[in-house]
Amino acid sequence: TALDVTIQAQILDLLLKLQKEKGMSLVLITHDMGVVA
């Protein structure tokens, strides 16, 4: 989606935090390679 860069970063930070806290895997599906790099 066309999210604001700041909001996009906050969402990614939240997902990574949940990943670490819960010990879970995370699969990101995106066309924006900058997001997954």
pLDDT digits (tens, 9 = 90+) for 1-37: 578 889 999 999 999 999 999 999 999 898 888 888 7
pLDDT for 30: 87
pTM above 0.75, yes or no: no
pLDDT for 13: 95
Q: Map tokens 């924006």 to a residue.
A: 32
